[in-house]
């Protein structure tokens, strides 16, 4: 199979599958918000998710990425089983330790995250979710590493549906505070059991290798702080908002973030298909050029998608949500683009994993996270929840710029100047929306068409190449 076909198939198949899985939460989001009495309940549920997303990387300690990297080091199946087994038993031990610490410290954690000791039940459910999801992330990895795309998509879709089968009845009987956290716990436990049964041949006590664990920790441990910085990018904003504006404002922001994360359709398709593609092609002679082209094309897709969202989001958002949530509209473009900038960063930073030098990624993320938190603390009291969104996108932007500069200097990336030109034009488009055309859907749609035509002009050679390929394919089919 050609490399282009390998990447496109992974991207498209995972894209379609993840689209279905992500559409379910998006469709259910207006239903969930209307079943809750006010935005504060959604805010508490989102804070529980924030707690889980903070503690889970501590439990996994970068072992998932180390496992993926080492899996492709040799073609020996016995070695691959040792990699999987070593990762699983290490992570299971860490998740038990982390969950136990959360339970022992449930009172101070409840006060810090939720504002009172009466919310210890949310801490307990979050601890159990960390316990289940940590091991679940490892046991489902062989399905991805063997590139069993359809199976992976169907099972994740099933657990997504299951979470709403649990949460909606709980909301209907008035369990507004616990419905979503309990549903997340049950979905995580189901995923652990299902994938554990399917992939059981890859895991055994005999497969644990302490020497291999040292190598995997050398790769994974420097990545663990990186995931904590990802948490700072994505979730620290909730704590800043709660402190400055209250839980209801955090609920409004959380809904805007959920809508903005429609871009996860693109990001998830990338993430699910990228690692297999990246590590299976890492020994190719033109690997740097190939990686750089992927970076550039994904960047174009990201900017076009964000520009489209800016053009059409206002009427769609107002249709889906009540006036209580309308203040989140201004946050959506920033929060839509954020996961896509993360995608670009990961394409670039993956080069460090390929050469087994992961520590520079930590320094890149330190700069971005510091920018993110500093701006959020400064801007939230002045601009409200928009300040949190601006801080988030600024932090990602700083991280991407530093990563690209460093990796270009290391000769591990080579992005052409036309992409930089496109990004400058996009920033002009973004400023025009924010200060001149906000709410003017017709004018923004015209501006979007102009931006899309500019993209097509910049990448006309690639578009002509695609057209020629389609023409050849049609000729072969007619013969």
Cβ neighbours for 162, distance < 8 A, ≥ 6 positions apart: 183, 186, 187, 190
Q: What percent of the chain has pLDDT over 70?
A: 86
Q: Measured in Å, how far apart are the chain's first and last C-alpha atoms? A: 22
pTM of this structure: 0.74
Calpha distance 14→256 (Å, rounded): 25
Nearest Cα residue to 209 out of 69, 96, 81, 68: 81
When the pLDDT of each residue in the chain is averaged and rounded to a whole number, the result is: 84
Q: What is the pLDDT of residue 166?
A: 93
Cβ neighbours for 427, distance < 8 A, ≥ 6 positions apart: none
Residue 206: CB atoms within 10 Å: 8
| Burial tier of 362 (Cβ tally within 10 Å: 0-12, 13-18, 19+) | middle
- Going by pLDDT thresholds of 50, 70 and 90, the confidence category of residue 329 is very high
Which pLDDT tens digit goes with each residue over 187-226? 999 989 998 898 889 998 888 888 888 888 888 887 677 6
CA dihedral 61, 160, 190, 227 (to 10 degrees): 0
Residue 162: CB atoms within 10 Å: 16
Q: Which long-range contacts (CB under 8 A, 24 or more apart) does 470-474 make?
A: none
Would you say 313 and 261 are in contact if contact means Cβ atoms under 8 Å apart? no
Calpha distance 205→185 (Å, rounded): 26
Which pLDDT tens digit goes with each residue over 362-376? 788 889 989 999 999
Calpha distance 46→60 (Å, rounded): 21
357 or 197: which leads in pLDDT: 197
Q: What is the DSSP string of 115-158?
A: SSGGGHHHHHHHHHHHHHHHHHHHHTHHHHHTT-HHHHHHHHHH
Query: What is the number of alpha carbons within 13 Å of residue 1 lying toward its C-beta?
Result: 11
The answer to whether residue 294 scores a pLDDT higher than 90 is: no
430 or 53: which leads in pLDDT: 430
Would you say 181 and 114 are in contact if contact means Cβ atoms under 8 Å apart? no
C-alpha distance from residue 276 to each of 17, 146, 285 (Å)? 17, 8, 18
- Going by pLDDT thresholds of 50, 70 and 90, the confidence category of residue 9 is low
Residue 26: CB atoms within 10 Å: 16
Tell me if residue 74 falls in helix, strand or coil.
coil
The answer to whether residue 461 scores a pLDDT higher than 90 is: no
Tell me if residue 312 falls in helix, strand or coil.
helix
Cβ neighbours for 89, distance < 8 A, ≥ 6 positions apart: 205, 208
């Amino acid at each position: 199979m050609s490399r282009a076909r390998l990447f496109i198939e992974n991207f498209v198949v995972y894209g379609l599958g993840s689209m279905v899985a992500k559409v379910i939460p998006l469709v259910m989001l207006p239903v969930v918000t209307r079943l809750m009495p006010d935005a504060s309940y959604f805010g508490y549920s989102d804070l529980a998710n924030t707690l889980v997303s903070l503690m889970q990387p501590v439990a996994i300690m970068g072992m998932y990425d180390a496992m993926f990297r080492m899996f492709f080091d040799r073609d020996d199946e016995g070695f691959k089983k040792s990699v999987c087994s070593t990762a699983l038993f290490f992570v299971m031990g860490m998740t038990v330790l982390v969950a136990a610490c959360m339970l022992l410290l449930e009172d101070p954690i409840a006060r810090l995250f939720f504002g009172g000791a009466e919310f210890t039940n949310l801490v307990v459910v979050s601890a159990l979710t960390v316990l289940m999801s940590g091991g679940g992330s490892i046991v489902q990895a062989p399905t991805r590493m063997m590139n069993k795309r359809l199976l992976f998509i169907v099972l994740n879709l099933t657990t997504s549906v299951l979470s709403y089968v649990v949460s909606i009845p709980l909301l209907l009987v008035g369990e507004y505070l616990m419905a979503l956290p309990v549903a997340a716990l049950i979905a995580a436990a189901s995923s652990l059991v299902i994938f554990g049964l399917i992939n059981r041949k890859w895991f055994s006590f005999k497969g644990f290798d302490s020497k291999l664990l040292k190598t995997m920790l050398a790769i994974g441990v420097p990545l663990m702080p990186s995931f904590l910085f990802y948490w700072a990018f994505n979730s620290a904003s909730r704590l800043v908002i709660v402190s400055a504006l209250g839980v209801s404002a955090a609920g409004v922001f959380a809904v805007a973030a959920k809508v903005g994360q429609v871009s996860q359709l693109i990001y998830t398709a990338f993430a699910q298909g990228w690692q297999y593609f990246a590590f299976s092609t890492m020994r190719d002679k033109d690997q740097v050029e190939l990686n750089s082209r992927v970076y550039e094309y994904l960047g174009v897709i990201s900017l076009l998608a964000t520009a489209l969202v800016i053009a059409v989001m206002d009427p769609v958002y107002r249709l889906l949500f009540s006036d209580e949530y309308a203040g989140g509209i201004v946050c959506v473009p920033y929060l839509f683009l954020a996961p896509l900038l993360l995608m670009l960063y990961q394409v670039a930073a993956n080069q460090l994993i390929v050469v087994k030098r992961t520590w520079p990624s930590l320094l890149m993320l330190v700069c971005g996270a510091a920018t993110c938190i500093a701006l959020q603390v400064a801007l939230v009291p002045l601009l409200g929840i928009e300040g949190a969104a601006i801080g988030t996108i600024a932090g990602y932007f700083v991280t991407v710029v530093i990563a690209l500069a460093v990796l270009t200097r290391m000769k591990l990336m080579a992005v052409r100047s036309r992409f930089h030109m496109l990004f400058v034009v996009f920033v002009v488009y973004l400023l025009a929306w924010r200060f001149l055309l906000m709410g003017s859907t017709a004018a923004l749609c015209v501006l979007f068409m102009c931006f899309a035509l500019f993209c097509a002009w910049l990448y006309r050679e690639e578009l002509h190449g695609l057209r020629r390929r389609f023409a050849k394919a049609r000729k072969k089919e007619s013969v």
